[in-house]
Amino acid sequence: MAEEGITFERITRIYREETGKNTLTKLEMDFYVKLNGYIEDLRSRTDEELAIDPHSSKAILLQNELRKISQKRDQIYRTRERKIALMASARVGGTDVDTKVLTKNEKVLFEKLVDDLKDAREEVFSGDRTVTEKKEKKAPEVETQKKPPPKEEAKKQEAEEDLAVVQALEDIPPFAGIDVTYELKKEEVVTLPKKVAKILTESGKAKLLEINNP
């Protein structure tokens, strides 16, 4: 069966069908290409008649048809666009949907919506899972440092004899240490001089994890 051409009557019928039901009307793959071509041709004929006599009945009729068919094209697309968005959501949710009723342009839109909805859903779900995993699996971690050159080993060992490893039990505002200013976040694990570590542990702001030279 030959495809039905584009006419004002057909566009009016498609508009009524689309706005009157929840399902999509089956259209040919190049429907919008043909419709836009029809509108461009109609616009050219309208311009020609307006150039001859803008007040003629033919010019007025063509203007009226151009305005109405352009409006119906936009309304048809917006109505179908909403339905396609619902179809994409259903597909992401695991429901089989019939895409044979879509035009070429609409299939591109449908696939893009499906991809975007999947990405958004995965981002939301993985984000929640990441938070949960951090709460369940978070464990104290001591920051590793590169091994110093052999000549520095003696100095490093001597300095470490007065150090302790602690974990902050709460956010601790900046405070002055012996040589530097410290600012600790809750559960942060750091190496501090014994004197500083002792002050924090005795005040209940941190707990001792490890101490060098016990």
pLDDT tens digits, 58-90: 999 999 999 999 999 999 999 999 999 999 999
Tokens standing for 141? 């971690």
At residue 36's C-alpha, the angle toward residues 44 and 24, to 5°, is: 150
Listed residues 132, 163, 198: the one ending a domain: 132
C-alpha closest to that of 212 among 166, 161, 167: 161
- What value does the mean pLDDT take over residues 38-45? 97
Q: What is the pTM of this model?
A: 0.56
Domain of residue 161 covers 150-211
Q: Are residues 179 and 103 in the same domain?
A: no
Looking at the 3D structure of the chain, how many domains does it have?
Answer: 2
Contact 104/30 with Cβ under 8 angstroms? Answer: yes
Residue 134 predicted with pLDDT over 60: no
pLDDT digits (tens, 9 = 90+) for 171-200: 877 765 555 666 778 878 777 777 777 877
